Amino acid sequence: METMGDILERAREFAGRSCTKDEAYRLFGWTVRDISARSGKSDESYIYITFDNNYTIFIRYFLNMDPTETEDTCEFTLGLLTDLRSRIRYGIHYAGYIHGQGYIRLRIADSKNRMQKMVLEEFYVPALKNIYKPIILRFQGFFTRDFFGVEADHARGELFYAPVRYRSEHKSASIGDVTGRLAELDLLLKEPRIRHALAEIDLQLSLLPTVVWSDL
């Protein structure tokens, strides 16, 4: 395998087979730690493969009703597990270059608690953006629409590359370039100043009354 398109072809083949560890090793060449699979709505299925080298592949396999898109039945995301953790679940990624700087796309855990929502919007989101804003250009992809990002919650953290589909321009990206950037970002987010800043946010949140976080 040389390109992300090669992984896409093997992901589609894997999703149509028995989804065993041996089959994953045969197709992707990495020893497998775990495989989980589930079915979704609208004839979709989801497969999450965790490899012993901490890389992951998330596959979304779907039925495409467009007769002109017979090849477009699979999407995958390549990720790298990290030791990053967060009290609040969030996902952040590079989302274009405007006004002379990288633009941040941020998602946080949903909340129906009004007090909790206010704290997240007025304190947590701005604080998190202030940490990632100086480094967000490091999450820029290799093409027009691709990007790198990170997701974290209290149990796990994962860096990831933009989802790849049949018509994705970035399916021609080199696997080595993508895995290399993921490894670089993993080291970047382990820098003491960044970890300290992220830990400080979590510490401030922990000082709030427990009732504020009862449903997160």
Note the pLDDT tens digit of each residue in 7-28. Answer: 999 999 998 877 899 999 999 9
> Can you give the pTM of this predicted structure?
0.89
Whether the predicted pLDDT of 212 surpasses 80: no
- What lies within 8 Å, CB to CB, of 73 at 6+ separation is 12, 61, 62, 63, 64, 166
DSSP 40-61: -SSSEEEEEEEETTSEEEEEEE
Query: What is the side-by-side strand order in the sheet with 44-51?
Result: 32-39, 44-51, 55-62, 74-82, 157-161, 148-152, 90-98, 101-108
CA distance 131 to 18: 43
Residue-wise pLDDT tens digits, 38-69: 887 777 789 999 999 999 999 988 766 555 55
DSSP the chain: --BHHHHHHHHHHHHTTT--HHHHHHHH-S-EEEEEEEE-SSSEEEEEEEETTSEEEEEEEE----TT-TT--EEEEEEEEES---SS-EEEEEEEEETTEEEEEEEE-----HHHHHHIIIIIHHHHHHHHGGGGGGGB-SSSS-BEEEEE-SS-EEEEE--B-TT-GGGGSBHHHHHHHHHHHHHHTTSHHHHHHHHHHHHHHHTS-GGGGTT-
What is the predicted pLDDT for the residue at 99?
A: 58
Q: Which amino acid is at 129?
A: K
Residue-wise pLDDT tens digits, 96-118: 765 556 689 999 988 777 888 88
In this prediction, residue 209 has a pLDDT band, given cuts at 50, 70 and 90, of: low
